[in-house]
Amino acid sequence: MQKSIYLLVLTLLSINTNAAFNGLSYHSRANCAGFNESITWDARWYRTYATISDHFYGRNVHEIKLTWEDTWRSAAYHYAEGYGGWQVIGSHWMVDERTARSFYLGTTNVVNCSIYDGWWDSGSPKLNKGI
Amino acid sequence: MKLNLIVSLLIAPAIVFANQPTTKLELEQQGFPVADGGIQVKPLTNISKGITAPRKNKILIAHEAIKKNGFYEIDNPEVKTIFKLGNQKPLAIGSSDSKDTHLKSSIKDVGLAFEFKGIPVNEKDVVGYAAIGGFDHGWNGVTQIFKDQDLGTCQYDLYNIKLSHGSEFIPQELVSYELNGKATLIDVRGNANSGFMYNIHWADNTKVNDLYCANMNFDKAKTQKLIELAKKIDKSVVIK
């Protein structure tokens, strides 16, 4: 069962329909039948990102901290949890490598797996890093 | 097992697990801009811990080239990205599902959490609008893609940091106050092969803005036109 969900997730991540992706975005999702996550991403180009995802379950808490990474998608993703009762709080940053400006985008705070259409539609942008 | 290994390898770099959330004070000490921190202009050495020292040197070299020649010469694949965005066909009017992040024909269909009427360009030149930023009872960011006879294919990104509680550090070595006295960064880079990306970034305590224009040619007059357009945009977009 878990393997099936995993395959589904990986399949979704690999879909490339050349759909529109138009800018820098961030979100968290909780209780997604086997995972919790916080994601900061921009399919247009590579930038430097940091994402922190704090996962709360009653009195239990843990944090996944993705330190600065040159990527188009910073995913603080936790597999094998998120079957109900979790709260996920994400914090999201981006540094523009061309100018070093450092942008705190905001915080996301969720208890459900609400998904928005489009976020998985684009494959990795075919760009060279570090312009 | 094999799948687990692949996933582990995919997520392994740069992950730190902890059993307590990092505090705001700890984040500040680690060099992160934090919630409601406003726009702060700081020396390059004191900001952006995510950028390595060699990269910072490269940033300064590029900045000097832009000051001297008007642009930094480099093959710039991001020009093509903006051209591609400009070739999209937006969804039809009435595609009003706010969780659909594809390009839309009408700003009303995007599902913003704040009032935005679009920027002052001819309606016939607008390619479309889309959500960016984060979602909480509506999107706190929006992008508008349009064509300009002189500037080429352009994209304006707006992040409402009053809603998102966002903040930003801007390097003092690069900053100017060209945009109505607000902290401004101007970056033009490309070459004859890739084309050129003209970008102006400006920010105040309510909004963070980027205007990108992709054009196959370099001309200092285009940079000036970009600045003038950004000034008009800044005056027309008021965050209440």
Give pLDDT, residue B16: 75
Average pLDDT over residues B151-176: 97
pLDDT in tens, B62-83: 999 999 999 999 999 999 999 9
Give pLDDT, residue B11: 44
Tokens 């700003």, located at residue = B107
Task: Indicate whether B1 pLDDT > 70.
Answer: no
Residue B30 CA to its chain's centroid (Å): 24
Residue B97 CA to its chain's centroid (Å): 24
Q: Percent helix, strand and coil across chain B, each rounded to 5?
A: 30, 35, 35
Give pLDDT, residue B14: 60
Give pLDDT, residue A114: 81
pLDDT in tens, A73-94: 999 999 899 899 999 999 999 9
pLDDT in tens, A6-20: 434 433 433 333 333
Give pLDDT, residue A12: 40
| Residue B104: pLDDT band with limits 50, 70, 90 | very high
Give pLDDT, residue A116: 67
Q: Which CATH number fits domain A2-110: 2.70.98, 3.30.450, 2.60.40, 2.115.10?
A: 2.60.40
Greatest mean pLDDT among A30-39, A40-49, B91-100, B164-173: B164-173
Question: Which of B136, B102, B195, B81 is CA-nearest to residue A112?
Answer: B136
pLDDT in tens, B183-192: 999 999 999 9
Check: CB of residue A50 under 8 Å from CB of residue A67.
yes
Task: Indicate whether B51 pLDDT > 80.
Answer: yes
CA distance B199 to B188: 6
Which of left, alpha, beta for B216 (phi over 0: left; psi -120 to 50: alpha)? alpha
Average pLDDT over residues B5-16: 51
Question: What residues of A are in contact with residue B55 (Cβ under 8 Å)?
Answer: 97, 100, 130
CA distance A41 to B133: 10
pLDDT in tens, B87-100: 999 999 999 998 88
Spans of all domains in chain A: 2-110
Task: Indicate whether B12 pLDDT > 80.
Answer: no
Residue B132 to residue A23, Cβ atoms within 8 A: yes
Task: Indicate whether A1 pLDDT > 80.
Answer: no
Residue B101 CA to its chain's centroid (Å): 17
Would you give the end-to-end CA distance of chain A in angstroms?
43
Q: Which of B3, B44, B47 sits opposite A6 (nearest CB)?
A: B3
CA separation (Å) from B93 to A5, A41, B90, B97?
35, 27, 9, 11
Give pLDDT, residue B45: 87
- Which H helix or E strand runs over B57? helix B53-69
CA-based nearest residue in chain B for residue A74: B11
Q: What is the ipTM, given to two decimal places?
A: 0.92
Residue B174 CA to its chain's centroid (Å): 16
* Residues 6+ positions from A65 with CB-CB distance below 8 Å: A50, A52, A53, A76, B15, B16, B17, B18, B22
Question: What residues of A are in contact with residue B21 (Cβ under 8 Å)?
Answer: 52, 54, 61, 63, 89
CA separation (Å) from B183 to A73, A97, B43, B173?
27, 18, 14, 12
Q: Which of B6, B8, B61, B101 to mutate to test the interface with A (most CBs of A within 10 A)?
A: B101
| Residue A3: pLDDT band with limits 50, 70, 90 | very low
Give pLDDT, residue B33: 96
Tokens 């008007």, located at residue = B70
DSSP 8-state secondary structure symbol assigned to residue B210: E
pTM of the predicted model as reported, rounded to 2 decimal places: 0.89
| Residue A60: pLDDT band with limits 50, 70, 90 | confident
Question: Which of A117, A107, A103, A90 is CA-nearest to residue B110?
Answer: A117
Tokens 């950028």, located at residue = B51
Give the range among A60-64, B170-174, B211-215, B229-233 with minimum mean pLDDT: A60-64
Residue B51 to residue A108, Cβ atoms within 8 A: no
- Pairing type for strands B126-135 and B139-148 reads antiparallel
Higher pLDDT, A121 or B9: A121
Q: What is the mean pLDDT of chain B?
A: 92
